Amino acid sequence: MNVIEVQNLRKQYGSTVAVDNISFNVQQGEIFTIVGPNGAGKSTTVESIMGLRQPDQGTIRVLGLDPQKDEHELRQRIGIQLQQAALPERLKVWEALNLYSGFYDKTVPWEKLLNDWGLAEKRNTNFKNLSGGQKQRLFIALALLNDPELVFLDELTTGLDPQARRATWDAVRAIRDQGKTVVLVTHFMDEAEELADRIAIIDQGNIVALDTPQALIQNLHVETRVRFTNTNGYDPQLLRRVNGVTEVEQRGKQVIVQGNGALLAHVATALAEHNVTPTDLRVEQANLEDVFLALTGRSIRN
Ligand code: ADP
């Protein structure tokens, strides 16, 4: 079942085409991730779906509703993550939950959310004194106050340390495991790869790929890369003769071998024949950064 249906969405600001022509569906119970570089059109797309922006063209249905016409009903049934600036610094955790409960016709008891999201001990703490990870958990709790069927999370882990990031990822999975649909917007490819059931990669106002992370990577047919540190003065160009090898490059002491088939086994055998036994011989798998590069010719970080 489709929870969201977007057809031929277009939005322009003056001469800037923010969203060119975007169509996709989001299925019930999945984590659907919209990923792309800054300025790609992610926020415009998602805010149009939430009814916060009016598209120039296209049709959008969310839970069977029209976000422009049925705004009140939609607001009751979706969860929206607030931006940092939305909460006063001195507001206590419990006060925030209590305040936002008043905005909905129907809510879950916020004491339960305090416990579910590990905030019970922080209930009397001012917002400004929470850690980055605790603030994000509070935003998640606020987004779940109305027991929404569909939850939107936007750049949830920007500025978090690696540990808080991992904890936040677990939290997002927990939301899906409660049977809710999650739309996650991020410019982090690793986050998309980690969390998404399906990913839409957006670039310059268009979807350039939409599939599961595994399928996106497999369909790339990129060559395998094998890497090792060359400490023996071995001439890496000798590896060019090895079965399956298409390219050999040395950067400093690092040798990067590209090719197909059982590359690692073939390279290891060839090195052993020359009495070279690197301790760090390893295969590098393709990832979503490679997918983006292959599709657009650009790195997502630039
Ligand atoms: P993303 O969320 O992927 O960073 P946005 O949807 O915010 O992308 O922006 C897409 C493009 O539209 C960018 O070039 C941005 O500068 C422009 N844009 C977004 N919002 C506005 C606005 N309110 N007025 C003018 N230009 C905008």
pLDDT over 70 at 218, yes or no: yes
Instruction: Say what the pLDDT of residue 33 is.
Output: 97
**Whole-angstrom Cα distance, residue 32 to residue 52?**
20
Q: What is the pLDDT of residues 91-137, one digit of tens each?
A: 999 999 999 999 999 999 999 999 988 899 999 999 999 998 899 89
CA of 46 to the centre of ligand 1 (A): 12
Q: What is the pLDDT of residue 302?
A: 56
Mean pLDDT of the chain, nearest integer: 92
Distance from residue 200's CA to the centre of ligand 1 (Å): 18
- Any residues with Cβ below 6 Å from ligand 1, and which? 13, 16, 18, 36, 38-44
pLDDT at 233: 85
Greater model confidence, 3 or 157:
3
Q: With b meaning 16 or more CB within 10 Å and e meaning fewer, what string describes 285-294? A: ebbbebbbee
Distance of CA 50 from the midpoint of ligand 1 (Å): 16
Q: How far apart are the first and last CA of the chain?
A: 37
In this prediction, residue 18 has a pLDDT band, given cuts at 50, 70 and 90, of: very high
Nearest CA to ligand 1 atom 27: 13
Rounded to 5 degrees, φ, ψ at 10 are -140, 140
Probe ligand 1: pick from 10, 15, 16, max atoms within 8 Å of CB? 16
Q: Which pLDDT score is estimated for 61? A: 98
Q: Which residue has the higher pLDDT, 83 or 180?
A: 180
C-alpha dist (Å) from residue 117 to 10, 125, 170, 175? 37, 15, 11, 11
- Is residue 284 predicted with pLDDT exceeding 90? no
Ligand 1 pocket: which of 44, 183, 189 to mutate (most atoms within 8 A of CB): 44
242-264 per-position pLDDT tens digit = 999 999 999 999 999 999 888 99
User: Percent of the chain beyond pLDDT 70?
Assistant: 99
* DSSP tag of 242: S
Centroid of ligand 1 to alpha carbon of 44 (angstroms): 6
Amino acid 181: pLDDT: 98
Burial class of 253 by CB neighbour count within 10 A (0 to 12, 13 to 18, 19+): exposed
| Nearest alpha carbon, ligand 1 atom 11 | 18
pLDDT in the model for residue 222: 73
Sheet holding 16-27, edge to edge: 16-27, 2-13, 57-62
What predicted TM-score, i.e. pTM, was given to this entire model?
0.85
Nearest CA to ligand 1 atom 14: 39
Cα separation values, 221 from 198, 214, 290, Å: 19, 12, 11
| Residue 298 pLDDT | 84
Query: What type of residue sits at position 216?
Result: L
Nearest CA to ligand 1 atom 15: 39
Residue with CA at minimum distance from ligand 1 atom 6: 41
Q: Which of 11, 13, 56 for a ligand 1 pocket mutation test, highest count of atoms within 8 Å of Cβ? A: 13
Domains defined for the chain, CATH in brackets? 2-218 (3.40.50.300), 224-285 (3.30.70.980)
pLDDT of residue 293: 87
